[in-house]
Amino acid sequence: AQSVTQLGSHVSVSEGALVLLRCNYSSSVPPYLFWYVQYPNQGLQLLLKYTTGATLVKGINGFEAEFKKSETSFHLTKPSAHMSDAAEYFCAVSDRVDYQLIWGAGTKLIIKP
């Protein structure tokens, strides 16, 4: 069975600092991996996804993630945090491109001025 673990329910960084949100997954087949962002009182928005091909994936708002098969990880990074990045971030995995997503518990990103 697939599962997703997001390390840290809350991550706090200073504005301008590096953002690193961790995601590890388990899957018996090559996974499809996703990062979504949820702003307060809003639905989820896709940041980026990995299906096949290049393991470094660039998304919206300056975020990127790298698929590392050997580490079963798909960590999300952004070089310089902005106040508008404050939100909850969810990592998700699927074993087919349009199959049900299995979600992590989420990481709340807090940006300190």
Partner 1 sequence: DAGVTQSPTHLIKTRGQQVTLRCSPKSGHDTVSWYQQALGQGPQFIFQYYEEEERQRGNFPDRFSGHQFPNYSSELNVNALLLGDSALYLCASSRINTGELFFGEGSRLTVL
Segment 76-95, which members bind partner 1 (CB under 8 A)?
90, 92, 94
Contacting residue, 65, 87, 102, 111, with partner 1 by CB under 8 A: 102
62/106 with CB nearer partner 1: 106
Segment 20-79, which members bind partner 1 (CB under 8 A)?
32, 36, 41-46, 49, 51
| Closest CB 59 distance from partner 1, rounded Å | 12
Q: What is the DSSP string of the chain?
A: --EEEEE-SEEEEETTSPEEEEEEEE-SSPPEEEEEEE-TTS-EEEEEEE-SS-SEEE-GGG-EEEEEGGGTEEEEEESS--GGG-EEEEEEEESSTTSPPEE---EEEEEE-
Contacting residue, 28, 83, 97, 113, with partner 1 by CB under 8 A: 97
Site for partner 1, rule CB under 8 A: 4, 32, 36, 41-46, 49, 51, 90, 92, 94, 97-106
